[in-house]
Structure 1
Amino acid sequence: MWSGRGALRGHLVAVGLSGVVGTCREESLRSYRLFAARDPRVLLGIDPEGAWGLRDVIALMARKCGVSADPGCVSGHDVIDPERTLAALDAFAGRLAAVARRGAPVLLGTGHPHRLIGFYGALADALSAAGCAVLTPAQGRCVDITTRFGLRTHTLDYVRGVGLVRDSEVGRPGCATGAHSHSPLPVRLALAAAEEAGGPLPELVIGDHGWVCGAGQLGFEAIGLADTDDPAPFVGEAEGLLSVVVPLDDGVRSDHYLPLTRYVLNRACLSQ
C-alpha cells in the first residue's frame, strides 16, 4: 500500500516525480521567458493581471516547486521539493473530498493522455461512485488547434470520463491514445457546450495544461498537476484563478502515478 505519506515521499523521489526530475533547467527558463513575453503558447489560456517579468516567474516557481531561485542557474535538471508536492496533493485531495460530499458535477481533462489518463480516470471513477456527475460535453466535436506543425483539426473525446483531444486523422474514439496538447480550446468548447445544453456546469474542473488554466480563467474552480516548465498554472494559482496546483514531473511512466492515485483517494476518503 502506498497510502502513507513517508512511503509516497520515497516513491516520488525514487521515480523522479519530485526531487531531481527529468525537466531540464534550459527548457524551464525558455518557458519562463516566453511567459514573461506573454507568448500564448505558454499562457495555456490564462490572462495574468500581474506584470510577471522573468525574475518574478523564477521566484514564483522557486516558491511553488522548489526549483533554483538563482537566475544565473542556467543548466542541469530541475529539482522539485517533494514536501511541496505532498502538501499540494493534500490540498488537492481536500478539494476532491469537498466536491464529493456535495455530489457536485465535475469535468476532467488532460493534455497528457499517454501519461496521466490512468490517474484522472481513477479520480473520475471514484467521484462517480460518490454521486458526482462526471461530465462529457461536446464529445466528438472538432476543434482547430495551432501546433508546431501548423493548424490541425482535433476531435474532443472522453476516455474513462476524462477529456482529451486526438488528431482527427489518427486513432478511433474511445481508445486511450490522444494528442499531447497545451491548448485551452478543448475546455472552452466543452464548457460552452454544457452551457448551451442548459447544464449542468462543473463545480470543479480537474486536469492540467489548458484544461485547468482555461477553466480557471473562465471562473470555474480548477485544480491540477503541473511540471516546472509550465509556469501558467502556478501563476494562475498565485492570482486566484486556480485553487490547487501540484508540482511534479508530468512525463514519467504512467504506472508511476498509481501511488499518487491511491494516496489522493485515501486522503479524500474516496477509496473503493
Structure 2
Amino acid sequence: MPILSRDALVEHLLRSRIAGDVATPRENNLDHYRKLANGDRHYWLGLELGDRWTDEQDVLAVMAERWGVDDPAHRAGQDTIDPELTVDALDRMAARLKEAAAGRQRVLFATGHPGALIDAHSRVAAALRAQGCDIVRIPGGLVADEGYVVQFADVAVFERGASLWHTHSPEPMNAILDGLALLGEAAPDLVVADHGWAGRAAQRGIDSVGYADCNDPALFCAEAEGTMKVTVPLDDHVVDPRFYEPMTAYLLNAAGLLG
C-alpha cells in the first residue's frame, strides 16, 4: 500500500469517517462526559481519576483540546473529530514506537475492539518484532470477567462463549500483568492498546499509547495529566477494518518501521 502524505491521510480519515463526521452523536458523548465526572467507574477505563475530573465542563475542555470539540452550546446531533488532531497524535505515537524499536523494548498489544483494530495492532507488532523488539506472549489460561484473555496475531483480546468481545473492562489487562508477574516475567516497557486495556496499563505505571473514540474521555484526561503517553482520537469501529490500513501505514512510516 502506498504511504499517504499527511494531507492525503487527512482526506482518507474524512472519507472513511475515522475522523471528521463520526458515527457517535453529540448526546452520547456528553452523556459519557457527565458519567465520568459523576464517578461512574465504567467510564474511567481502568484509571483512578479521584476527584480531579468531577466537573463535566473540565472534561469537555480537555476534549475540545484533544479532538476538537469546540462549541459547548452544541448539545445534540452530528459530532466530529478534527482529523488534523488525529494525525498529530499519530505522529506522537510514532515517536514512542521509534523509541521502542531503538531500545528493542518489550511491547504488549491489546484491544477491546477486536472487530476493528486487531489488524492495525498486529501490523505494528510485526514491524516492531522485525526491529528486534520482544512482543509479549501472554500467559495461557487467563480468566477475567467470566471469560478468557487470549491472544491472536500478537494481540491480546477478550473471549467469551467462543466469540471475541468488545470490552471496556480493565480486568483483562490486570489478568495479563498479574499473570506475567506470577511467572516471574518482566512487565512490558510499552503497551499499545485501547479502552480499559490501555487505561489500566497506564494506571499501573507502564508507558501506554492507544486509540480512543470521542465518547471515551478517560484516556484523553489521562493524557492531559501525563498518565497516558499518547491517545489518538478516532472512531474506533468504522464499518470496514481495512479503512484503518492507510492510517497504520502512515504510523509505521512515521516511526521508521517500514522497509
TM normalised by structure 2 equals 0.96
**Identical aligned residues as a percent:** 38
- Aligned twin of 1:15: 16
Q: Deviations over 1:15-51 (max 9, x none)?
A: 1111111111011111001100110111111111413
Aligned residues: 256
Q: Deviations over 1:179-206 (max 9, x none)?
A: 0000011111101111121122110000
Would you say the 8 A contact 2:121–2:155 is kept in 1?
yes
Query: What letter is aligned with 1:165?
Result: F
Q: What is the CA distance between 1:138 and its match in structure 2?
A: 2.9
**Partners in 2 of 1:93 and 1:258 — Cα distance?**
15
- Aligned twin of 1:62: 64
How does 1:177-192 map onto structure 2 within 5 Å?
A: 178-192=164-178
Q: Deviations over 1:121-147 (max 9, x none)?
A: 101111111111111223332112xxx
1:259 counterpart (242, 246, 257): 246
1:5 counterpart = 2:6: yes
User: Please, which runs of 5 or more residues in structure 1 have no aligned partner?
Assistant: 145-152, 172-177
2:230 counterpart (244, 247, 251): 244
Would you say the 8 A contact 2:168–2:196 is kept in 1?
yes
Question: CA distance change for structure 1 residues 125 and 32 in 2, over 3 Å: closer, same or farther?
Answer: same
**Partners in 2 of 1:12 and 1:259 — Cα distance?**
9
**Partners in 2 of 1:127 and 1:194 — Cα distance?**
20
1:235 counterpart = 2:221: yes
1:157 counterpart = 2:150: yes
Q: Deviations over 1:134-178 (max 9, x none)?
A: 11223332112xxxxxxxx111011111000011x224xxxxxx1
**Partners in 1 of 2:21 and 2:152 — Cα distance?**
31
User: Please, which runs of 5 or more residues in structure 2 have no aligned partner?
Assistant: none
Would you say the 8 A contact 1:58–1:69 is kept in 2?
no
**Partners in 2 of 1:51 and 1:255 — Cα distance?**
36
- Aligned twin of 2:94: 93
Query: What letter is aligned with 1:97?
Result: K
Would you say the 8 A contact 2:138–2:156 is kept in 1?
no
1:75 counterpart = 2:76: yes
Query: What letter is aligned with 1:41?
Result: H
Query: What letter is aligned with 1:265?
Result: L
SS at match of 1:23: coil
- Aligned twin of 1:170: 162
Would you say the 8 A contact 1:3–1:266 is kept in 2?
no
RMSD, aligned CA: 1.1
- Aligned twin of 1:174: none
